[in-house]
């Protein structure tokens, strides 16, 4: 079965609502008709409503960069799944390395957020990946497999159909360093094999696995040509219409 590419931009803490409208208005005609992949922009919370409105009638889908696992309550600074759903959000990133590294996310909270997002009907971009010391110690495979098992604990095979796993070597995020296509494909293969052990071969063949470590317009084609890489979770390049369009074009 041919898996569908998903090219998703993670804007992180960039772009105001006005800039968001301007960006999507410029991007939409550039990616129009490029329908061999799903195109997603995961924008800051304050930009989502503007992004959803600007993307209407286009092939661009809008996502959030996080979601809380409770429906409501005394969780200052958090946003619930229902809040995001009501304003038209379709996707949500969960477990990004920056959330893990700077804001105390654990595999337990990632799992809880994933369950809440799936229950609300979102497509989840679930991030896993190793630090540089783990790569140098030769334990990448074990660490990434463990993350996948913990983050997907208690998630049904039916819900798994709405999960996309993004492999992000932490040492390659925002550094300009990139895993070689061979390294990226190998680790994405480990993720696929782990899914096979948990859910069976059919589920492993179907699940979409992105690469998310400094993919850009120059290396996208080589990365996307690999057997186990089904798209990209794009950081800096997703803030440039030309570069992001080139990555989408590489997925064609």
Q: Is 96 a catalytic residue?
A: yes
Q: Of 98, 105, 130, 168, which is the active-site residue?
A: 168
Q: Is 61 a catalytic residue?
A: no
Q: Of 61, 96, 98, 130, which is the active-site residue?
A: 96
**Tokens 């463990």 -> residue:** 146
CA 109 to each of CA 53, 99, 138, 151, 155: distance values in angstroms, whole numbers, following the listed order: 31, 11, 26, 9, 14
CA 196 to each of CA 22, 51, 200, 205: distance values in angstroms, whole numbers, following the listed order: 42, 36, 4, 8
Alpha-carbon span 131 to 36, nearest angstrom? 33
Question: What is the CB neighbour count within 10 angstroms for residue 225?
Answer: 11
Q: In 43-189, which ranges are E strands? A: 60-64, 91-94, 123-128, 163-167
Alpha-carbon span 26 to 33, nearest angstrom? 15
Output the six-digit token pair for 4.
């569908």
- Burial group, residue 18, by CB count within 10 angstroms (0-12, 13-18, 19+): exposed
Give which of 219, 150, 230 is closest to 192, Cα–Cα. Answer: 230
Alpha-carbon span 164 to 177, nearest angstrom? 23
CA 82 from centre of chain: 20
Could you list the active site residues? 96, 168
């Amino acid at each position: 079965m041919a898996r569908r590419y998903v090219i998703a931009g993670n804007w992180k803490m960039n772009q105001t609502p006005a800039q968001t409208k301007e960006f999507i208005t410029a991007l939409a005609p550039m990616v129009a008709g490029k329908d061999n992949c799903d195109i997603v922009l995961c924008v800051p919370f304050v930009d989502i409503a503007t992004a959803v409105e600007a993307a209407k009638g286009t092939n661009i889908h809008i996502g959030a960069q996080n979601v809380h696992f409770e429906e409501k309550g005394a969780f200052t600074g958090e946003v619930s799944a229902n809040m995001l759903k009501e304003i038209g959000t379709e996707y949500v990133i969960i477990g990004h390395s920056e959330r893990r590294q700077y804001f105390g996310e654990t595999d337990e909270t990632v799992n809880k957020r994933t369950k809440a997002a799936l229950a609300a009907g979102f497509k989840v971009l679930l991030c896993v990946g190793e630090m540089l010391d783990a790569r140098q110690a030769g334990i990448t495979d074990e660490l990434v497999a463990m993350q996948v098992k913990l983050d997907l604990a208690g998630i049904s095979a039916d819900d798994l159909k709405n999960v996309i796993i993004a492999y992000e070597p932490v040492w390659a995020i925002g550094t300009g360093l990139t895993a070689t296509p061979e390294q990226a494909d190998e680790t994405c293969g480990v993720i696929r094999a782990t899914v096979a052990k948990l859910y069976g071969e059919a589920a492993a063949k179907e699940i979409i696995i992105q690469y998310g470590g400094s993919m850009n317009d120059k290396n996208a084609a080589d990365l996307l040509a690999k057997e186990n890489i089904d798209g990209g979770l794009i950081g800096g390049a997703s803030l440039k219409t030309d570069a992001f369009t080139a990555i989408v074009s590489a997925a064609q």
